[in-house]
Amino acid sequence: MGNIFDFLVVNPMTNIMLLIYGLFGNFVVAIVLLTILIRLLTLPLNLKQMVSSIKMSALQPQMKALQEKYKNDPQTLSAEMRKLGFNPLSGCLPTLIQFPILIGLYNAITRTMAVNPMSLLELGKHVYGFLPNLSSLVPIESRFLLWDLGQPDTLFVIPILVVVTTYFSMKFTSMPSSDPQTKQTNQMMQWMMPVMFGFFMLSAPVGLGVYWIISNLIGIGQYYLLKPRLDLAKAQHAAPAPGSAAAIAAPARKAPPPKSKVKPKSTAKIAKPSADSGKK
């Protein structure tokens, strides 16, 4: 499995990174350009996932009510959820597809930096022989400004930048939720994840930190580029506050009309789950 992943994802990225490094003679430029390239390629997936998150977030109050109503009848619950437009894969599938690509990029950067003999050996095994002169680029020039890209940052500048950019990236890109629990979890994660990454960066090579910072900045930029489309999606899928009259009156606004079979009568029941629970 690892070999297939290497063959399909990590090896091409490693060689493309070396090619870019050969063209510009600067590894940071290679990281930046390859990260942009990957982000552009995964942009449609990313957009799909963000829109889907908005949609799922808007559906939360109705889904909760249905879960409460049909808690003893999973089959009906599942059918009702489908009618509502809920698709558990729609949000995570694009993420699942993107994940190996990002892991591959991370591996390609680590491998290309070849900070120790074992990683250089791995690099040597996977440099394409048919591309001329790639091997002559190894080992890459690891000096960049104040840093050695293959060493941890003793100045702590990179870990701090990782913390700051991760925080803002998470703040801007995490989807708003009407569910207080999810909201609270998101808030906690917005603090915890940057601190965790910053802690990790204390002992990781600067090159990885540079990738992380660039990736975060591109993520933030991408968010602003996609914002008009996301706002449109939000408007389309906007959900009223749970328990409000509007929620009861219009529970399935985003579901396509032919599929939406949740009648006002049933939603009225949803508002009073205790009266109906187990009676279906």
Partner 1 sequence: MILFHKPPPGAPAGAPGAASHPHEDRIRMKKPIARIALIAAVSLAVLTACAGGEPPPSAFPGVTVDGAYAYLASNYHLYKFDLQTGAVVWKFPAAVDNANPIGPFSGVPLKYGDWIVIGGSAGMNGAYDRRVYAVSDATGVEAWRFSGGAREFVDGVISDGKIIYAPSGDGSLYALDPSQRDAAGEPRLVWKFTTGNRLWSRPLLADGVLYQASFDHKLYAIDAASGKELWRFEGATAAIGVRPALSDGVLYFGSYDSHAYAVNAADGALKWKTALGGWMWTDPAVQLGRVYVADVRGRVYALDAGSGQIAWTYDTQDTVKGQPVLDDDKLFIVSMDTNAYALDPTGSRKSPSGQVDFADARWRNDKLGRRLVSTPAIHGGDLIVPLLDSDIKMWALDKSTGDRKMQFPPPAATTEPAK
Binding site for partner 1 (CB under 8 A): 113, 115-119, 121, 124-125, 127, 129, 133, 135-136, 138-139, 148, 150-152, 178-185, 187-189, 192, 196, 199-200, 203-205, 241-244, 271
CB-CB neighbours of 144 under 10 Å: 16
The Cα–Cα gap between 202 and 120 comes to 23
We find the least distance from the C-beta atom of residue 179 to partner 1, in angstroms, to be 8
Between 48 and 64, name the residue whose CB sits nearer to partner 1: 64
CB 95 within 8 A of CB 80: no
Nearest to 207 by CA among 4, 65, 35, 16: 35
The Cα–Cα gap between 271 and 65 comes to 7
We find the least distance from the C-beta atom of residue 22 to partner 1, in angstroms, to be 12
We find the least distance from the C-beta atom of residue 136 to partner 1, in angstroms, to be 5
We find the least distance from the C-beta atom of residue 264 to partner 1, in angstroms, to be 18
Between 156 and 224, name the residue whose CB sits nearer to partner 1: 156
We find the least distance from the C-beta atom of residue 41 to partner 1, in angstroms, to be 28
Between 200 and 223, name the residue whose CB sits nearer to partner 1: 200
Which DSSP helix (H) or strand (E) runs through 262?
A: none
Between 129 and 256, name the residue whose CB sits nearer to partner 1: 129
Between 135 and 224, name the residue whose CB sits nearer to partner 1: 135
Nearest to 254 by CA among 53, 44, 93, 79: 53
Between helix 27-41 and helix 88-113 the angle, nearest 10°, is: 160
Is residue 203 packed enough to be buried (19+ CB in 10 Å), middle (13-18) or exposed (0-12)? exposed
